[in-house]
Amino acid sequence: MTTRMAREIAEQPETVRRTLAALTERRGDIRSLAAGRRRVLFAARGSSDNAAVYGRYLLETHAGVPGSLASPSVATHYRSRLDLTDTLVVCVSQSGATEEIVETQAWARECGAATIAVANVAGSPLVTEADLALVTEAGPEVAVPATKTYLAQLVAMAVLGTALAPDPASLDPELARVAGEVERLLATPVGDAVAALRDASYAVVSGRGLMMGTALETALKLEETCLRPVRGYSYADLRHGPISVVTEGMTALLVAAADGPLLAPLVELAGDLAARGATVVGIGGDASFAGACAVHVAGPDLPEAVAPLGAIVPAQLVVEALARELGLDPDAPRALAKVTRTDPHS
């Protein structure tokens, strides 16, 4: 029986097409709202936060705009008053109803920020209360793990990052190929990767730069859907200490783009992890990266700037298949709900 999660993964080519068509025409509105603002601050939780990591890197590497990730508790618990008059605050939530993010958006406006909401539900509190809303076109998502809504958020991040670039259309040819690449990747064999993760005593996931959000999202999905202890690290953080505990019996899952300045370091990392006894599973990269990995899963034929929009798909396939292999229901992971709720506050 096909799971709901698998069906929603398969809906992603159309999700990309619809969301890209709907949001690309908002680039002018984004530029107008951002006029005179020097920086972008993202507020999100969970998978939405991982999408925001990609948005931040794209803004800084492609658009030349400083970006950072907010700590919502600064607004909701500490209630700090910050000068955000030079800031565009982008609040990201699949449901648009995560109370903490809705409250953070209201706080940002009170602090002088211009606000953009990214959500999949038109009419949600986040959407209706923002200065500008980017409503993604994923359609209703029934499975608890975010798949098509997460990819739609990545599309929104790409639109935001290109809207604020000197030439907003410079990545359009690459973005136009994303849906086709996603469609191709739906047929990617993942059995060997599933076996490597199933038999692992412990797992780590790593990526870097524009692929960092993909690594964090993959680790999150493995933890919440497959109930396995998994740590997501940036390449640099893994190098600075945790790599010392990598031993035989561990599986390291690395995600890489097919080009870019961080590909060669990830090839080197794959070799180092293998030498320490880890089983290295790679997603994406090039031929040299594939050769350095014990198990390789094909990634998208896309440049680094937009590679995260394709690379998440084989990772989702691995997670869905591993959950079934472990006798778990990927549609309804234990103790999870669609709307994120953090600790209560007054």
The 10s digit of each residue's pLDDT in 25-73 is 999 999 999 999 999 999 999 999 999 999 999 999 999 999 999 999 9
- 124 and 24 in a common domain: yes
Distance separating alpha carbons of residues 305 and 303, to the nearest angstrom: 6
**For residue 258, what are its two tokens?**
């097919």
- 242 and 108 in a common domain: no
pTM: 0.95
- In the chain, the number of structural domains is 2
Q: 3-state class of 54 per DSSP?
A: helix
Its domain, for residue 253, covers 184-325
- 316 and 195 in a common domain: yes
User: Residue 276 is part of a domain; what is its CATH number?
Assistant: 3.40.50.10490
Q: 3-state class of 286 per DSSP?
A: coil
pLDDT at residue 336 above 70? no
Distance separating alpha carbons of residues 91 and 118, to the nearest angstrom: 6
Report the range of poorest mean pLDDT among 36-50, 89-103, 325-339. Answer: 325-339
Report the range of poorest mean pLDDT among 145-149, 155-159, 239-243, 274-278. Answer: 239-243
| pLDDT value, residue 341 | 56
Q: Is residue 340 part of a domain?
A: no
